[in-house]
């Protein structure tokens, strides 16, 4: 990164815009101005690198994962590198122009980057504002001001998953068509992967990263598998157990017995992916590795979009992995799972997050009231009239 401009020059008779300096301080101010004049762009750039390192150490001390810390500083480096400057020389107008032009991305991505930049400036102001003012004559002020500060306006919209009947028909039609697929093993892998995503409610990135050794058939009633779950509050990924249930166990067992071995790699290898890719990149093939690379989330999204266009009927025709997660939460709740149980299935830390996944659930308060009354009557009989 190359800096474009030095600190703005100021007259010797002016200190922080307060007017003329008293005569007794003239020599001190002159020496300070001469010292600041000798500061080069490389000095500011080196100080910027040191500050970035301090910020990363601070976030590491706070317990954040290395991958999360790396994401926190990337937007700052990205914008400063584009303008060839350091953060304390960056203006709100420059940030606006960057994210409206060269750095324009999806609204959620821009919102995340601008919040990360604002967080870095809070650190800069708290710890280094005075030193930056003394050394470089610049004030520290976040370019994310009240006018460009991102607000979450619900830009994701309401996610309406297909109904239980529509998904049952979708999977039924897809399974019947598996023998007619041009690449049967790939079609079977795609089908099983999609059904497991629906039954377990795991995210696309979590599901793609599952290895054969992560499946534990002995856990619980029907077995579970370990995924690298999304950590809360930016704390980084952490392992958690995902549920198979009876239908998922039977389906995955069939896949392991009949399909997985047909991909040609070593299924006994501890790092063998559960969902291997059919295509080996040339560089990977030249290495002659014992295992195939895992399918990536982008491929999973494409195959799901293609399958939904071919087999899904009803008002909802465009299916993507996160909509399957919404369907898992909604359908399990409609079938009688409590909010706490759905929260455990999805791996959420807070129940308020789980509630947003069930915005379209069909609730029946009158039926729930009758069921509660029935349970109360049963307790009266069992406890001989003592309601505790």
The confidence score (pLDDT) of residue 186 equals 94
pLDDT tens digits, one per residue of 242-290? 999 999 999 999 999 999 988 878 888 878 999 998 876 565 555 566 7
Band of pLDDT at residue 74, cut at 50, 70 and 90: very high
Is 149 within 8 Å of 118 (Cβ atoms)? yes
The confidence score (pLDDT) of residue 366 equals 66
Band of pLDDT at residue 11, cut at 50, 70 and 90: very low
Is 238 within 8 Å of 228 (Cβ atoms)? yes
Question: Hey, is 49 helix, strand or coil?
Answer: helix
pLDDT tens digits, one per residue of 156-188? 456 789 999 999 999 999 999 999 999 999 999
Residue 367 has pLDDT above 70, yes or no: no
Does this model's pTM top 0.85?
no
| Residue 172 half-sphere exposure toward CB, CA atoms < 13 A | 7
Structure tokens at 312: 């899904």
Segment of 180-194, 308-322, 368-382 carrying the highest mean pLDDT: 180-194
SS3 sequence of 173-204: HHHHCHHHCCCHHHHHHHHHHHHHHHHHCCCH
pLDDT tens digits, one per residue of 15-31? 343 343 344 444 443 43
Residue 120 has pLDDT above 70, yes or no: yes
Give the full edge-to-edge strand order of the sheet including 215-216. Answer: 215-216, 224-229, 238-243
The confidence score (pLDDT) of residue 23 equals 44
β-strand partners of 224: 216, 243
Q: What is the DSSP letter of 88?
A: G
The confidence score (pLDDT) of residue 4 equals 43
The confidence score (pLDDT) of residue 291 equals 78
**Chain length of the chain:** 388
Structure tokens at 221: 């009633």
The rounded percent of the chain whose pLDDT value lies above 70 is 77
The confidence score (pLDDT) of residue 185 equals 93
Question: Hey, is 363 helix, strand or coil?
Answer: coil
Nearest of 125, 128, 105, 127 to residue 117 by alpha carbon: 125
Provide long-range contacts, Cβ within 8 A and 24+ apart, for 30-34.
none
The confidence score (pLDDT) of residue 288 equals 62
Residue 233 has pLDDT above 70, yes or no: no
Mean per-residue pLDDT, 179-208: 95
Is 199 within 8 Å of 247 (Cβ atoms)? yes
363 CB neighbour count, 10 Å cutoff: 10
- Give CA angle at 377 (372, 378), nearest 5°: 100
Q: For the chain, what is the mean pLDDT?
A: 82
pLDDT tens digits, one per residue of 334-344? 988 989 999 99
Judged by average pLDDT, the poorest of 17-26, 32-41, 246-255, 310-319 is 17-26
β-strand partners of 325: none
């Amino acid at each position: 990164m190359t800096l474009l401009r030095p600190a703005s020059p100021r007259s010797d008779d002016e200190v922080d815009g307060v007017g003329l300096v008293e005569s007794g301080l003239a020599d001190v101010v002159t020496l300070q101005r001469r010292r600041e004049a000798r500061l080069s762009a490389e000095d500011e750039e080196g100080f910027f690198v040191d500050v970035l390192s301090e910020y990363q150490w601070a976030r590491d001390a706070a317990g954040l994962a290395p991958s999360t810390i790396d994401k926190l500083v990337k937007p700052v480096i990205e914008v400063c590198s584009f303008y060839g400057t350091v953060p304390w020389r960056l203006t709100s107008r420059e940030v606006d122009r960057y994210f409206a032009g060269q750095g324009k991305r999806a609204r959620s991505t821009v919102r995340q980057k601008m919040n990360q930049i604002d967080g870095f400036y809070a650190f800069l102001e708290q710890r280094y504002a005075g030193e930056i003012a003394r050394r470089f004559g610049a004030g520290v002020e976040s370019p994310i001001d009240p006018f460009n500060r991102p607000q979450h306006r619900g830009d994701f919209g309401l996610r309406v998953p297909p109904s239980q009947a529509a998904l049952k028909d979708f999977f039924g039609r897809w399974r019947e068509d598996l023998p007619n697929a041009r690449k049967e093993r790939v079609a079977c892998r795609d089908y099983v992967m999609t059904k497991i995503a629906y039954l377990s409610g795991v995210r696309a990135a979590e599901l793609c990263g599952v290895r054969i050794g992560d499946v534990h058939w002995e856990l619980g009633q029907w077995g579970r598998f370990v995924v690298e779950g999304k950590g809360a509050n930016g704390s980084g990924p952490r392992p958690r157990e995902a549920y198979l249930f009876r239908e998922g166990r039977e389906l995955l067992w069939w896949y392991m017995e009949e399909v997985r071995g047909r991909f040609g790699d070593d299924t006994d290898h501890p790092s063998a992916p559960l969902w291997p890719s059919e295509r080996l990149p040339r560089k990977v093939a030249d290495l002659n590795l014992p295992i195939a690379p895992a399918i990536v989330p982008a491929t999973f999204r494409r195959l799901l979009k293609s399958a939904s266009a071919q087999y899904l009927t009803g008002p909802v025709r465009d299916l993507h992995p996160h909509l399957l997660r919404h369907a898992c939460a909604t359908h399990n709740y409609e079938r009688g799972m409590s909010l706490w149980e759905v929260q455990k299935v999805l791996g959420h830390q807070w129940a308020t997050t789980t509630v947003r996944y069930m915005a379209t659930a069909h609730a029946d308060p009158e039926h729930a009231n009758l069921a509660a009354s029935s349970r109360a009557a049963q307790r009266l009989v069992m406890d001989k009239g003592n309601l505790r």
